[in-house]
Amino acid sequence: MIRFSGLSLALLLIGLLPGCASVRTLDAAKPGAPIIYSGTRLDWYALHGGCCPLDRFGAEAPKYAGLDLPASALLDTVLLPFAVAAELGIGLGVTGGN
């Protein structure tokens, strides 16, 4: 049995994050692309044979969409208030860095 320490698990999850559909769709910023549960919807689209994720979501689907689906659903749920605000056109004034 493989055992991970908390730090090892955190580093593994951070390493997998760039492949996460939610992160990919948030980074894409394609006009007209879904915002609410976008990563979950991208995974679902890929699992059901969607032909053109780049055109619809502005991002390619992860290679293993079935494995990514639970993590994307969790992250999309955490980000839901921000996604709803963005969908409604409410600027939250959230900035990063410096």
Domain edges within the chain: 17-88
pLDDT bin (cut points 50, 70, 90) of residue 93 is: low
Distance of alpha carbon 74 from its chain centroid, rounded?
9
Query: What are 27-80's pLDDT values in tens digits?
Result: 677 788 888 999 999 999 999 998 888 889 988 888 888 888 888 898 899 989
Distance of alpha carbon 34 from its chain centroid, rounded?
11
